[in-house]
Structure 1
């Protein structure tokens, strides 16, 4: 099989090849298997977000698969078409990656919230700083959740196909088991407690 072109015909061929591989109705050649492996690798790099420049992604593809720079760039283009073939081009793909980014960032922020230190032997200033940091993390996470909710409202049919399952994703999707809902309520109660303690601390600490 020849290398795929940058034309719309080549892009359609890329999508058709991927669909055939998913259906399992045709045995792919070694060359076709290699193409799919390169596209999946390119897709993985794009979704990671740490690597934003195409030049860097292309270099990684070149190094891993020993292909030319031109071929590596074409792999990036084909990966975008294969994993996001909607119109306008790549809109669905970009929405999926944005949802994934928001989910991961929200989880990261909530993960930074430290347990309450009420009643523990802790310096007053350190305790106040901890509560301040916790409040900032929570406020940032809540703000991002509002943005994420808008994406879910605008694009209800779009879900990241290969993203890890997130609790926040299921909450907004309304598909959470009761045990998970209870855990979420407990987390929110603790968050409110942290914020309330911070407000009280601001009133007494500043006096």
Structure 2
């Protein structure tokens, strides 16, 4: 039985095939390259498939795969996305801080550096309504104009007081131990009701 031998160009390993048709099939399927070497049963030496008389015509029809083109216009968006995410987080934190800063009036120091002058309630009681927050054990007690209200009712009760009295300023009298979440709810309600000014009176817990 005649036998054909195929090897990679310059390689030692040899693949034996029963006939030329198998070599031709391997060439067309891409298993062999036109530059691989072949040796037939009557050949005296190895020669490239593309120059062998039996396969030269078929090898010419096999087009080499085009080299992969590098797209120089491709833009890697990952660094840009990372920068945008960092800027987004920065803007969110900045806006959040600015909102809290607008909601809380920070007392200004006097030019003499003596601190904020004390405000007496009797001097402003005609234009303010009073919100008192105390701790009853572990439970915060909220009173608006001496009326105890639940945390969920702060906005409506404050709205009712403002509509009935016309007072748009507020005195917030609170214990130091009152949770910040309760204070935030009161400040949000005041902002929603367009309170013009908030005067703070903080007391230490007994």
Q: Which has the higher strand share?
A: 2
TM-score (norm 2): 0.20
TM-score (norm 1): 0.20
- Name which one, 1 or 2, has greater alpha-carbon Rg: 2
Q: Which has the higher helix share?
A: 1
